[in-house]
Structure 1
Amino acid sequence: MDRCGATVFVFGKRSVYLPVNEAEMVPHCQEEFEAETCVKNYARKCLAPFPRQIIGILLQGASQVIHSRCKPEGVKDYLSHKNCIATTISDLHDCMDQLVLGLNAIAKAPADDRIPMACCAFGRYQHCSIQPIKNKCTDDPKAVEYIGIKMIKGIKNCFT
């Protein structure tokens, strides 16, 4: 599950390979689709209802991101921002690590606190991720929109 989840969510997987051309996107997308199926199967077969719901929320946004990115127009869009992604990837990994810690804490929280804690964790994740993009990708004016909104906010599509 951890390997599949890291592949689906990209950020947080230190060994991630970032495609640099259309040909490299083909195996990248195939790996992402397989990982998505792996996570869905694991959640359905192995998780209790609440964790399964959290995975479902996360996976819904991530699935939309993957399927959009792997269409011809999405490939072009992704590749136009590859330099910014490469420049900020270390920061984005660190932000994902913080999100994972926040989500792990939810399991120990009282049931009434879990949803608000999840929302706060995702809000912190989005803020953490957007800052390095704003600061380090000044030559890519649409990077915040693509990486911060399409890739990162797409992971959890209910924060505004």
Structure 2
Amino acid sequence: MTKLFQPSVFQTPEGKNFADPHSNRRDYYWVTVFLPEHMVPRHFTDEEIMDYVLKQIQQNRCSVNGRAMYGLGKRCISLPIKRDEEEAPLPDFSEPGPAHPDLLLAVDLAAYWHEMILTKKIILDKDLIFVAKRGKAARMEDMLDVGLHVMERNQVVLA
């Protein structure tokens, strides 16, 4: 059976990973920012790392891949973007002209995660980003749905 999800580089402060689409799914592609060698967890906070990622995507200094590159010893953060069509080619962000719509989606997604880190709702899984040479194995029931988890933490009680 094909796996549909894998652990994300984002997790709760308690250490429970959110679910990302599995790297082998053809209905997603990944926008990846590779981290410089000097950017190590003991010298940079989660906020600083995610700020770097957001700025790199905003400046179109990212790569587009058919799979997530984190957890493979690559020192990076990859964000999933849903393809319009499963067989659609990977977008080319290098073309001159107005920003590619999917690049704008990647900026929005990076900004969302950046905000979640700033508000201390999530942290980075530094092992998956900086250490792991293989993807992390987890059952779906051991991962969180970001929409449900964040919505639960942000519920407003109406009187």
Could you say whether these structures have the same fold, taking a TM-score greater than 0.5 normalized by the shorter chain as the test?
Answer: no
Higher RCO, 1 or 2 (CA under 8 Å, sep at least 6)? Answer: 2
Bigger strand fraction: 2
- TM-score, normalised via structure 2 length: 0.29
